[in-house]
A and B are shown apart, each in its own frame.
Chain A
């Protein structure tokens, strides 16, 4: 079993929809959580970073962490065709332990 699991998709939604992207993890020591967006043939771009349970909001994006369930989510409100990309979650336990990446979920927002 992988330490971080992420549904590869693709996930297709109509423009304007609320998108929910999720990752589950098995290592209860993970405490830093990140979301990246990767457009085709580009490097991943850091979207959000959090090291606590609960929600963190940035514009149309909300990151949610539930440590008791070992589950993190990224919500995108009012999705746009420009949000079409692969979204990767990442996490680490701190203490100089390496970051572990999910394999990514491909999102398509249909105009």
Chain B
């Protein structure tokens, strides 16, 4: 069953703590992405990776970090430097950065 998995579905953290969101895909896609979506808002690109061991900042990278050590995995760390971390986080992948993307189910992060 091919697809993208994100875990956990809900995540709660205290302010000041770093937290890592998981994203795994078995679609053999080269490109992977992280987006943030706030209530009633569109998708905002945080980071993307076109190939293993390479990644680029998106529009709102401050306070976030990523790694791409394996083709299948693209974890996102939300650091304590991110001022408003509470949001819905979506991971996606595609064959190429200009092709259609396939999304995971999302992780809802709440920081209090």
User: B74-110, CB under 8 A of A: which get 1 and which 0?
Assistant: 0000000000000010101010111111111110100
Q: How far is the CB of B48 from chain A (nearest CB, A)?
A: 7
Q: Which residue of A lies closest to B105 (CB)?
A: A43
**B residues less than 8 Å from A103 (CB atoms):** 41-42
B108, closest chain A residue (CB): A41
Please determine whether B100 and A44 come into contact, CB atoms closer than 8 angstroms.
no
**Chain A residues touching B, majority SS:** loop
- Neighbour of A44 across the interface among B6, B90, B98, B99, CB < 8 A: B90
- Chain A 31-64, CB-CB to B under 8 Å as 1, else 0, gives 0101010000111111001000000000000000
Question: A102 contacts B42, CB within 8 Å?
Answer: yes
Query: What does the 1/0 interface line of B34-70 toward A look like (CB < 8 Å)?
Result: 0000001111010010100000000000000000000
| Nearest-CB residue, chain B, relative to A35 | B100
- Distance between B110 CB and nearest chain A CB, rounded to angstroms: 13
Which of A46, A101, A102, A104 makes the CB contact (< 8 A) with B102? A46
A96 to B96, CA, bound (A): 7
Complex interface: chain A residues within 8 A of B45 (CB)? 98
- When the two chains form the complex, which single residue of B50, B94, B96, B104 contacts A43, counting CB atoms closer than 8 Å? B104
CA distance A97 to B23 in the complex (A): 23
B101 touches A99 (CB 8 A): yes
> In the complex, A94 Cα to B98 Cα: how many Å?
5
A111 interface contact, C-beta 8 A: no
**Chain A residue at minimum C-beta to C-beta distance from B91:** A43
Q: Contact residues of B with A, CB < 8 Å?
A: 4, 6, 40-43, 45, 48, 50, 88, 90, 92, 94, 96-106, 108
Residues of A with Cβ closer than 8 Å to B?
8, 32, 34, 36, 41-46, 49, 88, 90, 92-99, 101-104
